[in-house]
Structure 1
């Protein structure tokens, strides 16, 4: 079972995404304090980080860059999401493994998760 760190400060969206992921066989830790992302990744092993570009008080791309610059978590796969035009290029440039545009449906979300996990496996092999 893949373990996901879901970084989402929107209470409603965080619960919806967590529930959908758990229903589809993922183990999920929902983190509401984006500033604690690196700390959580250093404390526990996660197979994937999912986070929005826009978070309370911080840009998700800054967290993404921090992850990429922190050994031993620098290779952790990251799926970023945003509804902003042009956000995909910015998120990928910051080090995101993959990107999904909002709004999205559950099936598309799940496909992006699997694609991100597979990209990370291919990179590590």
Structure 2
């Protein structure tokens, strides 16, 4: 059996983070949740993360900046990033920052799983 993909969820809403963790684990993923966007790169490296699910607006930090920093670091630049936001015009901004894909909140779990599997090539 193949090893489960590891997803890092970066969202300052602990309710959303925990809900995503529970649902993604149901689909067989290994999930780590953080409310601290500045820890994102360290967590990617510590846990050998396969994909980052990154909220665009996180308590005083812009997720697009976090995404751009992931892309600028040679150790993390190839880690796929799926950004999410409830802002209607967020998609293009997230892609400009280097996100592999974008999903608008609120989203259906099936749509999220399709996007994750698509990015991971499953």
What is the CA–CA distance in structure 1 between the aligned matches of 2:92 and 2:30, rounded to whole Å?
A: 29
The yes-or-no answer on 1:26 pairing with 2:58 is no
TM-score, length of structure 1 as denominator length: 0.91
What is the CA–CA distance in structure 2 between the aligned matches of 1:90 and 1:82, rounded to whole Å?
A: 11
Aligned partner of 1:55 in structure 2 is 58
What is the CA–CA distance in structure 1 between the aligned matches of 2:104 and 2:70, rounded to whole Å?
A: 21
Q: Which runs of 5+ in 2 are unaligned?
A: none
> How many angstroms does 1:91 deviate by?
0.2
TM-score, length of structure 2 as denominator length: 0.93
What is the CA–CA distance in structure 1 between the aligned matches of 2:38 and 2:59, rounded to whole Å?
A: 9
What is the CA–CA distance in structure 2 between the aligned matches of 1:100 and 1:35, rounded to whole Å?
A: 22
CA RMSD of aligned residues (A): 1.2
TM superposition outliers: structure 1 runs of 4+ over 6 Å: none
